[in-house]
A = this chain, B = another copy of it.
């Protein structure tokens, strides 16, 4: 299942060490201005080697759009795109050909398909997310015209967590530091933690928070198409994600209904609003016009630059130690991926909602 979405749909392909990764965006609305600089800038936010914290692999990750754009605008036809793989050190993986790395997809892919491209994780590599960032950037170009904004940031690394609500941060700070955290002091703590963990050949996880501003009322569908269920599925499809919560989330458990309900009122402009927003901008699966916000938990990367016990494809015990260049913490690079998945989910829901009435 390599297609995401229903009306706005992204289909991706590509392995870490094959000729290219890429995909097709089908259902892109016609007439949207295609901003190639923005598209490449989004990829650069995800690119390895962008800061002291990320893997030093050098890949330009230059995207080529192959269709669906004419004289600078989307035509409504599918947008095919590719990003050539470069600078692959496939030989770094020769020792892994017959080995199942712990907590990776090696074992399950091998068992499911009977064949496995072991180089760089093959299809299960996070390199597949390049295609998501492209799809997300295209979605953002449409959302921009609708004044819908999507902002994500790193809110926790290991035990270092932001303590304030998202409303209290200045989002323009996010891209100013390598961690993509709006709190400059916490950001520096997180960065030091990541470097310390990296020095030990170990890895660390964290939490990304995402906020959607300007979402119109009415997006999302009853029963199985609830907007938060679509967002959850989108987030859980990102590598290393272990949990998703929106609005009050798991914390809701601690409160009574009387404490948690969001009371409606009519504001000065005559719009119906809620005083609080534990609903997270979604009621009954449908957006209510308040900010949508959610949190995504990432486990520590499974690839360690230290020895681990494991077994080979024959089930024999062996030792594995990754060679090469790997992130000790994926969160800084995962921020644009979370945004991309959210953007595609929103645009898909927006388009679907247009079919509610004739």
In Å, the complex CA distance between A6 and B142 comes to 23
CB distance from A243 to the nearest CB of B (A): 3
Q: Does A178 contact B (CB under 8 A)?
A: no
A12 near B78: Cβ-Cβ < 8 Å: yes
Supply 15 A–B pairs (Cβ within 8 Å), ascending by A. A2-B26, A2-B222, A13-B24, A13-B78, A30-B115, A75-B115, A102-B262, A104-B284, A109-B284, A111-B288, A203-B256, A244-B245, A263-B309, A264-B311, A278-B299
Asked if A67 contacts B115 (CB within 8 A), the reply is no
Residues 301-343 of chain A, each 1 if its beta carbon lies under 8 Å from chain B, else 0: 1111010111100011100000000000000000000000000
A122 at the interface (CB under 8 A from B): yes
Query: For the complex, is A214 an interface residue (Cβ under 8 Å from B)?
Result: no
Q: How far is the CB of A111 from chain B (nearest CB, A)?
A: 5
List residues of chain B with CB within 8 A of the CB of A75.
113, 115-117, 122-123
Cα distance A265–B103 in the bound complex, in angstroms: 12
- In the bound complex, how far is the Cα of B250 from the Cα of A302, in angstroms? 16
The segment out of A35-43, A179-187, A346-354 that lies at the interface is A346-354
| Distance in angstroms between the alpha carbons of A275 and B222 in the assembled complex | 41
CA distance A241 to B283 in the complex (A): 11
Say yes or no: A244 contacts B247, CB within 8 Å.
no
**A48 at the binding interface (Cβ < 8 Å):** no
- Among the stretches A50-58, A168-176, A232-240, the one at the interface with B is A232-240
A302 to chain B, nearest CB (A): 6
Q: Assess whether A260 is in contact with B355, with CB atoms less than 8 Å apart.
A: no
Contact residue among B205, B232, B244 (Cβ-Cβ distance under 8 Å from A253)? B205
A79 within 8 Å of B (CB atoms): yes
Contact call B226/A236, Cβ cutoff below 8 A:
yes
Q: Report the bound CA distance from A205 to B253 in whole Å.
A: 5
Q: Which residues of B contact A203 (CB under 8 A)?
A: 256-258
- Complex Cα gap A271–B285 (Å): 43
Question: How far apart sit A233 and B279, CA to CA, in the bound complex (Å)?
Answer: 18
Instruction: Contact check, B100 vs A67: say whether CB atoms are below 8 A apart.
Output: no
Which residues of chain A in 271-288 are interfacial with respect to chain B, using CB atoms and an 8 Å cutoff?
Answer: 271-272, 274, 278-280, 282-288
Query: A306–B30 contact, CB under 8 A?
Result: no
Q: How far is the CB of A64 from chain B (nearest CB, A)?
A: 7
* Pair B14/A103 contact, Cβ less than 8 Å: no
Chain B residues in 8 Å Cβ range of A32: 358
A90 to chain B, nearest CB (A): 12
Beta-carbon contact of B260 and A356 below 8 Å: no
Tell me which residues from 1 to 24 in chain A have a Cβ below 8 Å from any Cβ of chain B.
1-4, 6-7, 9, 11-15, 18-24
Contact with B along A61-105 (1 / 0, CB 8 A): 000111110110111111110100000000000000000101111
Taking the closest CB of chain B, its distance from the CB of A188, in whole angstroms, is 19
Bound: A283/B257 CA distance, A: 37
Residues of B within 8 A of A230 (CB): 233
CB-based contact A3/B11 at 8 Å: yes
Contact partners of A76 in chain B: CB under 8 A: 112-113, 115, 356-357
Complex contact B13–A79 (CB within 8 A): yes
Instruction: Report yes or no: A266 in contact with B115, Cβ–Cβ below 8 A.
Output: no
Nearest neighbor of A4 in chain B, beta-carbon distance: B224
| Docked pose: A25 CA to B249 CA in angstroms | 31
| Chain B residue nearest to A299 in the complex (CB) | B252
